[in-house]
A = this chain, B = another copy of it.
Amino acid sequence: MARVIRARPLTADAFRAYGDVLETEGAFRLINEGRCERYHDRARLEFGGDGRAGISLFHAEPRALPCTVAMLERHPEGSQAFIPMSESPWLVVVAPDEAGRPGTPEAFLPQPGQAINLLRKVWHGVLTPLAAPGLFAVVDRIGASANLEEHHLEAPVVVDV
């Protein structure tokens, strides 16, 4: 029987080893004559020696919970930020590395207004919106060399609330 992983609310503390939660918490600068808060430089970005930053859009098919996760992937050469372009729910699945393979996955449910930046080499599930429109801006490495490792789990996990 598949292991069930319970998704929990996304918080910066719980997520720190995997990446950054981009949200309007903590210190900000007031700009534009006081009309705008700037939460400055919140992501630990990496693009590799021969890479550069790029912005792409990902448009993904919504899934429903419970949801089976059979594969995790990671990017050895760069970080990857996912910025939702709506307030719709989505799911984040990550796992610690254990000797080059993913360990037990963890699942998080972002709130509206939260984006994430995955650190380089962090195992993660594919982009999983839980409702339309499934549209995200992705800031990641653009480069010629390979930047994807996939790992098919021996025992797929089921993520539920």
Partner-B contacts on A (CB < 8 A):
22-24, 28, 31-33, 35-43, 45, 47, 52-61, 81, 83-87, 112-113, 115, 117, 126-127, 133, 135, 137-139, 142
**How many angstroms between the C-alpha atoms of A154 and B58 in the bound complex?**
42
User: Could you name 23 residue pairs across A and B whose Cβ atoms are closer than 8 Å?
Assistant: A22-B55, A23-B57, A28-B59, A31-B58, A31-B126, A32-B60, A35-B126, A36-B60, A37-B58, A37-B59, A39-B56, A42-B57, A43-B54, A45-B53, A45-B54, A47-B53, A53-B139, A55-B81, A83-B137, A85-B86, A112-B133, A113-B135, A137-B137
**CB neighbours of A85 from chain B (8 A):** 83-87, 112-113, 115
Q: Binding site of A, secondary structure by majority: helix, strand, loop or mixed?
A: strand
